């Protein structure tokens, strides 16, 4: 199975299965001399872990991070950072009834057709448990970006048909983390929680949307044509389990606006240039323009539900299936830190790539001084 690595300059390779001994990763290309706050990285994992509220999977995992290499006396050394998290609360017997069955909307059928040998317990490699590797690596990336005053915040924009108004302003880390669904709108959050509690009792699930905002990004990250920063972000987000859509700025809502309403006018702002609006979401021509980067990611309803569903087994016979085990009625609340992490990895990778370009440009200008 290929494609277990992500990034160009800053690369992450993940390993492990949901019901294996552990999951972990190797983060390569991380610069030396960056202060590594182990408590911060653990706190990011705590935001993603199961069992943190009654509306998420009740699998009991402490998700304790073990850093194996690449950090010495509280600083990165520039060598590969290897880390892992042990699995302690697997209940593989919960999956005995689906060993020979293709679960609706899961990866069972496609994985089996492609690889023949598949670990069906908890979804194996396709399990959302793999995302804890991304969150840990993203926390390292956040520590790097902190050095350049780049900040990333994601939050729950909607669950089902319950959505925050687009003109809602009170969005910060405090309001986001104030409730179990990570929705900064207090009243909407309570409606979301009530709906998820009801769905959990009924053995059903629902999807939603996560919005992410990145501040402090300088002008110039990303490359034209095939390697736009928007394309990198889209690929990163669509690689997260259960994603079904991605948009930047006004996104799909913006297609109904004429250019006179959609265009972001430039204005002088002291010694710099800014835009009056930010319908572009901080990216133009695939390159960051210095404004806040804003994008949204749509997540489908989790496919593992207790309600009876029709499917077939590996012999092609029709069967009725009710999935047992511990599953989220909605992935969105726990997806928030995953979206942040993948955004951090993309921006950090692009920042390091741009730094190499700047070094090359400076050397070229020194060789060819203006006469």
Question: What's the rounded Cα separation, in Å, for the pair 181 and 342?
Answer: 19
Question: What's the rounded Cα separation, in Å, for the pair 18 and 329?
Answer: 18
Q: Residue 94: its pLDDT value, please?
A: 57
Cβ(342)–Cβ(235) below 8 Å: no
Question: What's the rounded Cα separation, in Å, for the pair 221 and 163?
Answer: 31
Could you list the residue range(s) of the whole structural domain that residue 290 is in?
5-367
Q: Residue 99: its pLDDT value, please?
A: 78
Average pLDDT over residues 97-122: 80
Taking 70 as the threshold, does the pLDDT of residue 359 lie above it? no
Question: What's the rounded Cα separation, in Å, for the pair 336 and 331?
Answer: 9
Query: Structural domain tally of the chain?
Result: 1
Looking at residue 250, which CATH number applies to its domain? 3.60.150.10
With CA atoms as reference, report the closest residue to 179 among 168, 191, 162. 191
Q: Residue 118: its pLDDT value, please?
A: 73
Taking 90 as the threshold, does the pLDDT of residue 50 lie above it? no
Share of residues in the chain with pLDDT > 70 (%): 89
Range ranked top by mean pLDDT from 57-61, 269-273, 354-358: 269-273
Q: Residue 230: its pLDDT value, please?
A: 97
Residues 6+ apart with CB under 8 A from 298: 207, 208, 209, 243, 244, 245, 246
Q: Which two tokens stand for residue 130?
A: 């793999």
Range ranked top by mean pLDDT from 19-28, 58-67, 352-361: 19-28
Q: Residue 105: its pLDDT value, please?
A: 87
Q: Residue 3: its pLDDT value, please?
A: 85
Question: What's the rounded Cα separation, in Å, for the pair 130 and 134?
Answer: 7
Q: Which two tokens stand for residue 311?
A: 């499917």
Residues 6+ apart with CB under 8 A from 303: 103, 104, 105, 106, 205, 242
Cβ(176)–Cβ(182) below 8 Å: yes
Band of pLDDT at residue 89, cut at 50, 70 and 90: low
Average pLDDT over residues 241-269: 96
Band of pLDDT at residue 364, cut at 50, 70 and 90: low
Cβ(353)–Cβ(9) below 8 Å: yes
Mean pLDDT for the chain? 90
Taking 90 as the threshold, does the pLDDT of residue 83 lie above it? yes
Range ranked top by mean pLDDT from 111-120, 218-227, 332-341: 332-341
Q: Which two tokens stand for residue 250?
A: 């006004």
Q: Name the phi and psi angles at 356, rounded to 5.
A: -65, -40
Share of residues in the chain with pLDDT > 90 (%): 70
CA atoms within 13 A on the CB side of 117: 1
Question: What's the rounded Cα separation, in Å, for the pair 81 and 78?
Answer: 8
Residues 294-335: tens digit of each pLDDT: 999 999 999 888 888 899 988 999 998 887 766 789 999 999
Cβ(178)–Cβ(53) below 8 Å: no
Q: Residue 114: its pLDDT value, please?
A: 86
| C-alpha of 178 from chain center | 20
Average pLDDT over residues 266-289: 96
Residues 6+ apart with CB under 8 A from 108: 98, 101, 102, 118, 120
Residues 157-198: tens digit of each pLDDT: 999 999 999 889 899 999 999 999 999 999 999 999 999 999
Band of pLDDT at residue 229, cut at 50, 70 and 90: very high
Residues 332-346: tens digit of each pLDDT: 999 999 999 999 999
Taking 70 as the threshold, does the pLDDT of residue 92 lie above it? no
DSSP-assigned beta bridge partners for residue 354: none
Q: Residue 112: its pLDDT value, please?
A: 84
Q: Residue 117: its pLDDT value, please?
A: 76
């Amino acid at each position: 199975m290929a494609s277990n690595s992500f990034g160009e300059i800053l690369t992450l390779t993940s390993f492990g299965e949901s019901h294996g001994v552990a999951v972990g990763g190797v983060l390569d290309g991380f610069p030396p001399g960056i202060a590594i706050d182990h408590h911060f990285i653990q706190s990011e994992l705590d935001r993603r872990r199961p069992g943190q509220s009654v509306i998420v999977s009740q699998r009991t995992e402490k998700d304790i991070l073990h850093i194996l290499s690449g950090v010495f006396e509280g600083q990165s050394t520039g060598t590969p950072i290897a880390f892992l998290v042990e699995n302690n609360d697997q209940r593989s017997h919960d999956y005995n009834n689906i060993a020979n069955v293709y679960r609706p909307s899961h990866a069972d059928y496609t994985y089996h057709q492609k690889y023949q040998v598949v670990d069906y317990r908890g979804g194996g490699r396709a399990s959302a448990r793999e995302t804890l590797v991304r969150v840990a690596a993203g926390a390292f990336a956040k520590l790097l970006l902190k050095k350049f005053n780049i900040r990333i915040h994601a939050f729950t924009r909607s669950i089902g048909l319950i959505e925050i108004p687009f003109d809602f302003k009170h969005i910060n880390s405090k309001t986001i983390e104030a409730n179990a669904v990570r929705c900064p709108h207090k009243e909407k959050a309570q409606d979301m929680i009530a709906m998820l509690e009801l769905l959990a009792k009924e053995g059903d699930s629902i999807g939603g949307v996560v919005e992410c905002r990145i501040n402090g990004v300088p002008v110039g990250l990303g490359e034209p044509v095939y390697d736009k920063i928007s394309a990198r972000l889209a690929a990163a987000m669509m690689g997260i389990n259960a994603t079904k859509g991605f948009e930047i700025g006004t996104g799909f809502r913006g297609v109904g606006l004429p250019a006179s309403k959609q265009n972001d006018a430039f204005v002088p702002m002291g010694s710099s240039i800014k835009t009056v609006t930010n319908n572009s979401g901080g990216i133009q021509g695939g390159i960051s323009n210095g404004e806040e980067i804003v994008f949204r990611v749509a997540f489908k309803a989790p496919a593992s539900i207790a309600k009876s569903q029709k499917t077939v087994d590996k012999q092609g016979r029709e069967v009725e299936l009710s999935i047992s085990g511990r599953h989220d009625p909605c992935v969105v609340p726990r997806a928030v830190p995953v979206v942040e992490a993948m955004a951090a990895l993309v921006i950090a990778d692009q920042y390091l790539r741009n730094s190499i370009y700047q070094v090359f440009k400076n050397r070229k200008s020194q060789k060819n001084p203006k006469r």
